Amino acid sequence: MDSATSDPALRPTARTPLSSTADNGLKIVIVGGFGVGKTTMVRSVSDIRPLNTEETMTRAGETIDDLSRVRDKTSTTVAFDFGRITLNERTILYLFGAPGQERFWFLWDRLFSGTLGAVVLVDTRRLADSWYAIDRLEHHGTPFIVARNDFGGPAHSAEEVREALDLSDDVPLVECDARSRNSSKFVLISLVEHLRGLAEAREGIR
């Protein structure tokens, strides 16, 4: 790993490969406004240095039909960061840092499909940056929790944050420091416990 450099061409050799038994990739998406700490959180818990990749899509949310249209303004390239955590010999969890800005709406459905759930990372100084993300998640039916990244600003009560985000009572709100591995791990555990609660409730209804 010490040989890792910033040269992308050297990345493949700098990363520990997965076990040959790995056969189930899972996804969690971390969403939030610019500069809220998405990549920091991915980096804190990832087994690998976060990687970056791109998807080229049209406004209609489809991959491009005709590459000549790449030049067309109706298609856009979106970059996103991701990391991974090996959970056991078969199961690998991928964490995606997704841009929360409205102009990337066409990326969302693609990323969300098949995800376990999402973490909405918020900066209490800029709560409005999260409205759109929360709206999209609710619309898509993707379960999520809200994690308040501590930027050392004035303290807001949980009630104030809930009210500002118009958050329903059943959505967990947790505090975190995205720079801390333990804190970021706690956020992911909180999300998965929430998902388990939802799944158990659903199985109970059946």
Binding site for other proteins (CB under 8 A): 8, 11-12, 15, 17-20, 22-27, 45, 51-57, 63-68, 70-71, 77-79, 82, 84-88, 91-94, 96, 99, 111, 113-116, 140-143, 181, 185, 188-189, 192-193, 195-196, 198-200, 202-203
Nearer to other proteins, 5 or 24 (CB): 24
Nearer to other proteins, 47 or 175 (CB): 47
Nearer to other proteins, 34 or 158 (CB): 34
Min CB(158)–other proteins separation in Å: 23
Nearer to other proteins, 82 or 108 (CB): 82
Radius of gyration of the chain from its Cα atoms, rounded to whole angstroms: 18
CB contact at 8 A, 21 and 90: yes
Residue 89 CB neighbours (<10 A): 12
The 10 Å CB-count burial string (b at 16+, else e) for 116-125 is ebbbbbbbbe
Helix or strand or coil: residue 175?
strand
Beta strands in the chain (DSSP E): 24-32, 51-58, 75-86, 91-99, 117-122, 144-149, 173-176
Min CB(201)–other proteins separation in Å: 9
Min CB(99)–other proteins separation in Å: 7
